[in-house]
Structure 1
Amino acid sequence: MPADTSELERRPAPADATQDGPSARQPTQATLRANDVIRRSLNFHDTTDFEDARRGFVASLPEPVVIPDEGGRPVWSLGQFGFLGDGPEDDAPDTVNPSLWRNAKLNMIHGLFQVVDGAIWQARGYDLSVMSIIRGDAGWIVVDPFVSAEVAQTVWRDLVVPNLGDRPITAVIYTHSHIDHFGGVRGIIESEDVESGRVKILAPAGFTEAAVAENVIAGNVMGRRASYMYGNLLPKGPQGHVDGGLGKTTSSGTTGLIEPTDFVTSTGQTVVLDGVEMTCILAPDSEAPSEFLFFLPRHRALCVAEDATHTMHNLYTLRGAKYRDGLKWSKYLQQALDMFGSEMEVVFASHHWPTWGNDRCRRFLASQRDLYRFIHDQTLRMANQGFTPLEIGERIRLPESLDSVWSNRGYYGSLYHNARAQYGLYLGWFDGVPAHLHPLPPDQAGKRYVEYMGGAQALLRRAKVSFAEGDYRWVAEVVNHLVFAEPGNLEAKALLADTYEQLGYQAESGPWRDFYLTGAMELRLGVVRQPLPNPASPDTIRAMPMETFFDYLGIRLNGPRAEGKTIKLNLVLTDAGAKYAVGVENAALHVSVDCQSRNAGATITTTRAAFNDVVLGVIKMEEQVKAGRAKVDGAGEVLAEFLSLLDTFDFWFPIVTPRST
């Protein structure tokens, strides 16, 4: 039966804006039915994960947990998730998928936990990621120090040191190249600690290049989409953000990067840090372009980085990134089983809680291995039968033996978009259908669709009937055309927001829920600017190899403004002993290494740090010259002209409406 059409009437905005979104609506009958299917199909009586998540509890930060920056602004506030409670019982509200609600309650369990008696601990629940601490002979080895420096510093000072002891940090491990595994490093160590040799930093081969490329080259658009994916813009509550799938959400403090001193370059490599021996598996192009796993034989403990967590992970992340290879991913997990399966007694990762006992560890890794292999192989099987990515996403189903395992549920990734990612990994964006080769852009296509459907009011009348029938995917598709055709049509934006909201209430994936609900919010309120981590932080940019630094300048070059201009510059970096010939021709940047242009308009002699500050807009070149930090031979205005051609990206571009609005 269709839902009561009175559900289309907007109810008043809730009084508590921190618990419900602006003008948030109640779930429809279709949403209630969809969530009830989940409630009846999964074993909510299984409390094993709750027991594991609480095991080894040592202490927690005082309640309410609020971590501020230097100005007093909260960068992490766990108290805002108090509506979740912490029991294993199924008390999910009607506005949240019950499976996601269960995951959100698990991720609410926070504190310092012992993983291996007297040897390994984890701080969980204080950022999207988990920070692990390993006892070395002389001090502490820290694994993956959160997203933000403020979080890492507070957890270390107020939780780790009082409970484990004030020993020096002797090493830091970055398991992979995502910012939530290195961004907080400056909260626990300084560059001087590394430069003096007091602290080593271990990372997988290719780490710096991968970290920079992901966080800077496409960092602005990834960061904006991440604000949707992690629910950073949403109020926290049963009608807003409840969980990110891997953790509550990302902290919003200061991110940084101190470059590694040592690298894992091959599988089977043995590394010793502060007397602790580890055997490594290099795992590139799995969950990250640069990643490694390691086994601690003394403790019979396997760190799987982010390649085996208590969720189906992303083979494509909705914030945007390169496709990940499910086949390689599954093979790395098989390698871990082959190399350490008979010895391991605990598996811990950089998200979620550990798994203990050899048999349980083996079953956990085998299930994750088969999950990614199944998605990869079945997608390619159907692709070779001629099915398109949309068709494959709709058809693929996990076998019951995988689907019924809690750690395989789609809290972060989803079967639908992961299958489409494996298609794209091999075959790219084009599905082979000629009509999809050169489609109209959304604003133009939207106008044609609206016209073909009889105009805006006719489309809305039909869409409201479909909404009342619970056909939300179709309503989203057709009304999105109208919003892009007529971005000022408030009735269309309201209906699309209501539709996204119901889809969000039904989503098992935290990122899917957050994308839908953030889209609904921005349709209702417009873009609301808020403080968020900056992936292209000055720290990250300063850590770039110069080749990557020039690549970054190349993507900032405004082609239309540069058209018809020819610029030639020489750059001499005295501290690096490097020379570059930099040019702009045909609206493109080109760079030659270890040479100088004979007819350059100017030659700039300076240090890398001074040049960074000029390009970052911290200081003008003239001021660097006056301060004796740079020398310019030739026409100084040539550099000024070059810098004038570089775009500064606006983070807050629109997503659910056309850019022109």
Structure 2
Amino acid sequence: MLVPQTFVVGAESAWIPADTEVADGETLTVEGIEMQFFHAITDTEDTLTIWLEDYNGNRIVIDNVVWPQNNLYTLRGDRHRPPQDWIAALKTIRDLQPDIILPVSSGGNPIIGKEECFDAVTSLMDMMRFINDQSLRLTAQGVRPDELTHHMSMPDSLLQSPFVNEFYGQFDTYPAAQPTFNHGWFSGYAEDIHSLPRAVYADYLIQLSGGEENVMAAYTAAMDQSEYLWAKELAVNLYYAVPNNDTYRQALADVFRQLGQMSPGAIVRNFYIGAAQSLEGDTAISLTDIEPKEWVIDNLAEAVDRLRIRIAPERATGVEGVLEFNIDGNRSALHIRNSIAEFIPNPDQYYQAIDASVDTSGDNFAAYYRGEIGVDEFLANSSSTTGPAQELLSVFDEFAVIPMYPDNRDL
């Protein structure tokens, strides 16, 4: 996910808890209006479709299902959106035979007319079914997930519908998600089991090509001939071989920007343009993110638990001990061993005694968690510490924003 580090959080929530829950298919009369509710799974798992069978003589659906700008797969990394679920929600609406559809959260205008509603819903259903079924059909024929898009083209008959468009999501980003969700990342081909690190592969490829100058010349020729995907592959390898070379960084930025300008989907375009800006020095564009201070203070135990994924095996080798955090009276711990950290919600009930402890404030812990201060300052600002707290904390990475395209080969 592209994360703008200047994003401000913490405003008062507008969320209002439901005072009446409904079951799928349940009918209620609200303010004299009879409404039937249907559970739908689309971009969320808690969507409601509302059916007004006779509202001033109109058959009306209010929904978050019929999107005028659809997106079956999120490049940002949201949960998988199974087409079957969305299709089922669309089928429910189609079978109701509305003459007005009011999309409440997808940025669309009302759809008015029974035939217009039917056509919109059916077109979206068929687009999603085409993506899903053809992805699985080709997978069954041995096509790798990352190759599926080269074998699929949306039928012209579907493209006639204004609801089958690439204004938001882009069709060629959808297929790989279908088999990957069904059977995982492995294509089935043995050569895909193991691979060289990207930088090592780049070194070998450039050496085989006769050196960086030859690869750069091929890149320039590809750009001149509008072979942008080939130019991208060449520039990517130059970047990974020498990530601090300004010429190579700009070459990759240029082809990313070109691909972004050619992409119809706003999301794809955003990633390409963001990548170009990262290569050009915008360090705020990153794939890393950190929770706001308010979240940390409100969720202290969960924040301690999340430190687990920061443990660095090369620093944790041979280190073992239970480290307790007492943060404004909220106690939890981490048991560090075998280069892992087990979260302990109730230290007094754990089988092993506490070896070290840190008694600190929520503000101080939040500053450490968010990478605003290091271990030394965190411990110095704490009320008290016992045992080898410094040694145990040193096995964890301190959070830092990492640019999308850094200028080193550390990762």
TM exceeding 0.5: yes
Measure the CA separation in 2 of the matches of 1:270 and 1:636.
61
Shift of residue 510, structure 1, vs aligned partner: 1.4
Matched, 1:428 2:184: yes
TM-score by length of 2: 0.79
Gaps of 5+ in 1: 1-221, 233-250, 626-631
Residue in structure 2 matched with residue 386 of structure 1 by the alignment: 142
2:364 and 2:381 in contact (8 A); partners too? no
* Identity level (%): 22
Following superposition, the deviation at residue 534 of structure 1 comes to: 6.6
Aligned residue number for residue 193 of structure 2: 437
Match status 1:365 vs 2:121: yes
Measured at CA, do residues 254 and 387 of structure 1 come closer, stay the same or move farther in structure 2, by a change above 3 Å? same
Name the counterpart of 1:333.
Answer: 90
The one-letter code sitting in structure 2 at the alignment partner of 1:596 is: Q
Which among 323, 326, 329 is matched to residue 80 of structure 2? 323
In structure 2, what is the Cα distance between the partners aligned to 1:488 and 1:534?
23
Question: Match of 2:336?
Answer: 584
Q: Which residue of 2 aligns with 1:412?
A: 168
Paired residue for 2:43?
A: 287
Call closer, same or farther: CA 1:611–1:366 in 2, change over 3 Å. Answer: farther
Q: Which residue of 1 aligns with 2:397?
A: 647
C-alpha displacement of 1:380: 0.4
- Corresponding residue number in structure 2 for 1:310: 68
**Kept in 2: contact 1:301–1:344 (CA 8 A):** yes
Cα distance in 2 for partners of 1:511, 1:443 equals 27
**RCO higher in structure (CA 8 A, sep ≥6):** 1
Aligned to 1:565: 319
Instruction: For residue 464 of structure 1, give the secondary structure of its aligned residue in structure 2.
Output: helix
Q: Which residue of 2 aligns with 1:596?
A: 349
Q: 1:532 to 1:328 in 2, by over 3 A?
A: closer
- Is 2:217 aligned against 1:458? no
The count of residues paired between Structure 1 and Structure 2 equals: 394
- Within a 5 Å distance, the mapping from 1:499-538 to structure 2 comes to 499-523=255-279, 525-529=280-284, 536-538=291-293
Instruction: Encode CA deviations 1:517-574: one digit per residue, 9 max, x unaligned.
Output: 2333333x3234389997622344456595x545422223333333322232567899
Q: Distance in 1 between matches of 2:12 and 2:399?
A: 21
Q: TM-score, normalised by structure 1?
A: 0.52
Report deviation, 1:379: 0.4
Deviation for aligned residue 1:639: 5.6
Q: Is the 8 A contact 1:309 1:407 kept in 2?
A: yes
Gaps of 5+ in 2: 370-377
Matches within 5 A, 1:142-157: none
Distance 1:420 1:659 in 2: 28
Deviations 1:458-513 (A, max 9, x none): 12222222222111111111221112112244433333333222222211111222
Query: Deviations along 1:349-371, whole A, 9 cap, x unmatched?
Result: 32312323252333322322222
Once the 2 structures are TM-superposed, how far is the Cα of residue 396 of structure 1 from its aligned partner?
Answer: 0.9
Tell whether 2:223 aligns with 1:471. Answer: no
Cα distance change, pair 361–542 in 1 and its aligned pair in 2 (3 A) = farther
Report deviation, 1:287: 1.8
Shift of 1:442: 1.5
Distance 2:285 2:183 in 1: 38
CA-CA distance at 1:381 after TM superposition: 0.9
Report the equivalent of 1:35: none
CA offsets 1:562-587 (integer angstroms, 9 cap, x no match): 33222325678999xx9756422222
Give me the whole-angstrom Cα distance separating, in 2, the residues matched to 1:560 and 1:650: 18
Q: Secondary structure at the match of 2:284?
A: coil
Q: 1:382 to 1:542 in 2, by over 3 A?
A: farther
Give yes or no for contact 1:347–1:361 (8 Å, CA) kept in 2: no
The code of the aligned residue for 1:254 comes to V
> What residue in structure 2 maps to residue 403 of structure 1?
159
Partner of 1:267: 24
Given residue 314 of structure 1, which amino acid in structure 2 is its aligned partner? Answer: L
Contact 1:308 1:349 in 2 (8 A): no
State the AA in 2 paired with 1:268.
G
Equivalent residue letter for 2:25? G
Residue identity matched to 1:330: I
Q: Secondary structure at the match of 2:173?
A: helix
1:270 is displaced (CA, Å) by 6.3
Contact preservation (8 Å) 2:219, 2:234: yes
Show the 5 A alignment for 1:349-360.
349-359=104-114, 360=116
Whether the 8 Å contact between 1:443 and 1:484 is mirrored in structure 2 is yes
Q: Distance in 1 between matches of 2:380 and 2:27?
A: 50
Residues 226 and 303 of structure 1: CA distance in aligned 2, closer, same or farther (over 3 Å): farther
For residue 406 of structure 1, give the secondary structure of its aligned residue in structure 2: coil
**Aligned residues of 1:311 and 1:406 also touching (Cα < 8 A):** no
What does residue 374 of structure 2 align with? none
Pairwise CA distance, 1:382: 0.9
CA distance 1:432–1:295, shift in 2 (3 Å): same
Separation (CA, whole Å) in 2 of partners of 1:302 and 1:540: 37
CA–CA separation in structure 1 for the residues paired with 2:164 and 2:97: 23
Cα root mean square deviation, aligned = 4.0
Counterpart amino acid of residue 483 in structure 1:
Y
Equivalent position amino acid for 2:337 in 1: E
Q: Which amino acid aligns with 1:377?
A: D
**What is the Cα deviation at residue 590 of structure 1?**
1.5
Q: Secondary structure at the match of 1:536?
A: coil
**In the alignment, is residue 554 of structure 1 matched against residue 304 of structure 2?**
no
Alignment of 1:11-90 (within 5 A): none
